[in-house]
Structure 1
Amino acid sequence: MRLPRLALTALVSLALATAAAAQEVTLRFQHFVSPLSANPTYFMQPWADKIEVESGGRIKVELYPLMQLGGKAPSQYDLIRDGAIDGGWVIPGYQPGRFPQAEALELPFIATKTAEEASKAAWVYTQKHLMDDFADVKVIAAHMHGPGIVHKKGGPIARVEDFEGLKLRGPSRPATLLLKKLGATPVGMAVPAFPEALAKGVLDGGVITWEMSPSLKLDELTDSHTDVAGDRSLYNLFFLWAMNKAKYDSLPPDLRAVIDANSGFHASAMAGRAHDIGDAEGRGQMAAAGNALATLSAAETARVRTLGDEVIAEWIDEVGKRGLDGAGLVADVQAAVQITRAPSR
């Protein structure tokens, strides 16, 4: 007995709908650090586990550390955009000048030392200014790491003059601008190359977080670690946790909803909180190794901050020549920082 055409069409539609509902998706996300470092441990893996649970097991997120899927860390954004990987961790600042509005988040003494707070501010600012810049990927989280620390061979930094002539790794254009202003010779470098450059004597040190110190063996490769006084960071770095847009769009609506529910303000805060946890652990491990931990005096920090203000003023002038309202961007970062700070701070 032949089914009427309408009935046959209905059965085919039902079969297709059932297949879609049972669809299983594996998403391959890549990053460039040790799987034991803070963000993979306290953000990426919990995020991946949450996606799997909330999708009823229909989405599996596989995490590939240390660029195991290929490419270089500075190319992460393009790898995601082009679909070479389904998603991953991006440092926009690894491509200097490409995302100039994002640099406002990384200017000296802009962000607080609490990465969770700074990441909430980063999401607010990203929503206002950066979504067009990142329109060719699905932005899941926009976050900051904790305070940048000066790690170097030999004794700690005590005065601004101690920076003079030091070859120091910098992760972003704002960070290298500040290092140059301080009298150091900045060397732009992605995280994976940092330990080898230290071991070979190419660098005297560099700036990076407490939380990355153990995985980079900075307890062995450097002798001292110097922070600035106060509740603002010498510098912070801006990150994206992002997904290939075509891959996201290819998901059925209910699975896109799972990704959406784990994106945005709270995901950004979670990513920042991972760095706060890692900073506490990393600082403890550097102390346990017997390395010198130091904080610049309030007076010396004020001198550094004055130089940082010069960097900000010069940055505003520079991006103004590119048609951007640098002063307005800085003001919006400062406003975002203020509204996302804990009430007691």
Structure 2
Amino acid sequence: MCKQRLRSTFAALAMAVMAAPGLAQVVELKMSHYLPSVNVISADFLGAWAAEVEKRAGGKAKITIYPAGSSFGQIDRQLDQVKSGVVDIAFGLVGVPRDRLPRTELVELPFLAPDRSTANKALWAVAKKDLEKEYPGLKLLALTVDMTYLHTKGRAVKSIDDLKGLRVRAPSVTVNKILADIGSVPVNMPPVQVYESLEKGVIDGTVFAWDPIASYRLAEVLDNHVDNVVSAVSFWFAMNEKKYNALPPEVRAAIDAVSGDNLIPRFDAWFEKWSKAGVDAAKARRSSIVKLPDAEVARWKKNSEKVIEDRLVELEGRGVKDARAVYQDMQAAMQAASKK
């Protein structure tokens, strides 16, 4: 009886400690992404988002971030890690691994997104209608896009004919097809390998948004930049759904307060800041920054019609039967967003 009373006393003390004010258990969350910790997206967005969740949760949440170079930082593992619960939250590139998120990646088809702000609003609107099925087991926190451009080393580009034969790093299946259509040789590689590959002559150029020109120091190994949009590049930000549903209400509320509809509008200012840094880095190196003549853009746009149709047919043939309907929804959402 004495031992039983002792066990009961310990149990009661443990429950009292857990219930005591200020001693509530802290929820520890793991967040992974594929960017260096010094990258602007990592610092300005992901780090700030985590800090804001912790603050709003009143100290009841602790988020540890695992960037590139860490045990959870490989770009091609982000999606599987968060789905399986190896990490709780992750930020990834839609195009990696390839063809895993084909409906979302439709936003990258050429000449669909007129500008970054419109594309961000439109993609999130379509996500609520068409895209959640691509993220089973996940709680989508955001989808966002930036615009990509062509950056080359050693060869100025004044016409799409100048791109023929160039080995160009492509960030996704869509950009791969765009490059192949204009006669370039698409090369698939992670962002962190681009600097060395340019330096050693493995590739002649890359399709990137402007911000990596500064954040990955690519201005040092590139000397020509074509300031015409090649495509949108899309990113996802999500949490393991089971983990999200199991959170204490105050932690879940903190995440909701800085995600979804409350997060999407913030990307415009961030991407504008990051893009300016890239442009300024190129200008500081006295690199060439040009725009293609209108006639060349019109020619490129005409050629892209085949790329779009071929991609839709390909996806339909692979079982993505609603690919064309999702693309049409994106077109309508772009038009609606551009009027706001």
TM, length-normalised to structure 2:
0.89
Equivalent position of 2:219 in the other structure: 219
- Measured at CA, do residues 20 and 142 of structure 1 come closer, stay the same or move farther in structure 2, by a change above 3 Å? farther
Q: For 1:97-140, what per-residue CA distance to the aligned partner results, in whole angstroms no more than 9, with x for missing partners?
A: 222211211111111332x4322222111111111210212211
Residues 38 and 277, structure 1, Cα contact 8 Å, conserved in 2:
no
Q: What is the correspondence of 1:305-344 to structure 2 with a 5 Å cutoff?
A: 305-321=301-317, 322-341=319-338, 343=340
Does the 8 A contact of 1:30 with 1:67 survive in 2? Answer: no
* CA deviations over 1:288-344 (Å, ceiling 9, x no partner): 11111111111111111112221111112222222523332221111222222364x
Judged with a 3 Å threshold, the aligned counterparts in structure 2 of structure 1 residues 18 and 93 are, in CA distance, closer, same or farther, namely farther
Secondary structure at the aligned position of 1:36 is classed as: coil
Partner of 1:280 in structure 2?
A: 276
Normalised TM-score (structure 1): 0.88
Moved more, 274-283 or 28-37: 28-37
Tell me, yes or no, if the aligned pair for 2:124 and 2:142 is still in contact at 8 Å. yes
> What are the Cα deviations for residues 208-246 of structure 1, in whole angstroms up to 9, with x where unaligned?
011111122221111111122xxxx32111111112223
- State the Cα distance separating 1:272 from its structure 2 match: 4.6
* % identical equivalent positions: 30
Cα drift, residue 20 of structure 1: 10
From the superposition, tell whether residues 48 and 117 of structure 1 become closer, same or farther in structure 2 (CA, over 3 Å): farther
Match for residue 246 of structure 1 among 236, 242, 245: 242
Matches within 5 A, 1:12-161: 22-70=24-72, 72-114=74-116, 116-145=117-146, 147-161=147-161
The AA in structure 1 aligned to 2:129 is K
Q: Aligned pair count?
A: 330
Structure 2 matches for 1:151-230, cutoff 5 A?
A: 151-228=151-228
Q: Which residue of 1 aligns with 2:286?
A: 290
For 2:215 and 2:21, the matched residues in 1 are separated by 44
Which ranges of structure 2 fall in alignment gaps of 5 or more residues? 1-10
* Cα distance in 2, alignment partners of residues 193 and 130 from structure 1: 30
CA gap of 1:67–1:113, structure 2 versus 1, over 3 A, is farther
Distance 1:135 1:282, change over 3 A: same
**SS of structure 2 residue aligned to 1:157:** coil
The one-letter code sitting in structure 2 at the alignment partner of 1:25 is V
